[in-house]
Amino acid sequence: MSRPYKIPESVLVVIHTPDLQVLMLERADQPGFWQSVTGSKDAEDEVLLETARREVLEETGINSPLENFHDWRLANRYEIYPVWRHRYAPGVTHNTEHVFGLQVPAGTAVRLAPREHLQYRWLPWREAADLCFSPSNAEAVLHLPNQLSQES
């Protein structure tokens, strides 16, 4: 039985500590590609906040309550990289990514999903942005200090 196609609507979750250390993950399917937690909705009716929580738990083992996630009300529409386009229905070339933030205490344990990620690093936010392979991910990380000042 073939797997269903991915839904072209996803989340990007910038996980960070109070002192703006950002969690970066190296993709297992593309070594050298570093990113924040990302993932597509599992069903058309899945609420984006639930997608964010599920993806964080699946990819990092961090089990955080929904109220700790902050919807940054940012959405990026971008062309899906050709290397990953086969995961989507024929003719689907663009994805809409919704950005969330999640603040965790320094020293929060991370348990990677080995089929998805090879290693992780906590980096100061500017270094994390420089490491991102995705321009939209880098922009989100660079937005972190401004976003936090708006939330407080």
**97 — phi, psi (to 5°)?**
-110, 130
**pLDDT at 1 (0 to 100):** 45
Q: Strand, helix or coil at 138?
A: helix
The domain in which residue 80 lies consists of 9-151
Question: For the chain, which ranges sit under pLDDT 70?
Answer: 1-3
Q: Note whether residue 1 is domain-resident.
A: no
Q: How many CB atoms lie within 10 A of CB 66?
A: 10
Residue 85 within a domain: yes
Residue 2 in any domain: the answer is no
* Residue 4 resides in a domain: no
Distance CA 39, CA 55 (A): 6
Q: How many domains does one find in the chain?
A: 1
* The pLDDT of residue 79: 93
Backbone angles phi, psi at 144, to 5 degrees: -55, -55
Does 24 fall in a domain? yes
User: What is the per-residue pLDDT for 151?
Assistant: 80
Separation CA 121–CA 128 (nearest Å): 9
pLDDT at 55: 97
Answering whether pTM is above 0.85, one says yes
pLDDT digits (tens, 9 = 90+) for 76-117: 999 998 988 999 999 999 999 999 999 999 999 999 998 999
Q: What's the token pair of residue 45?
A: 């009716």
HSE-CB at 41 with a 13 A cutoff on CA atoms is 14
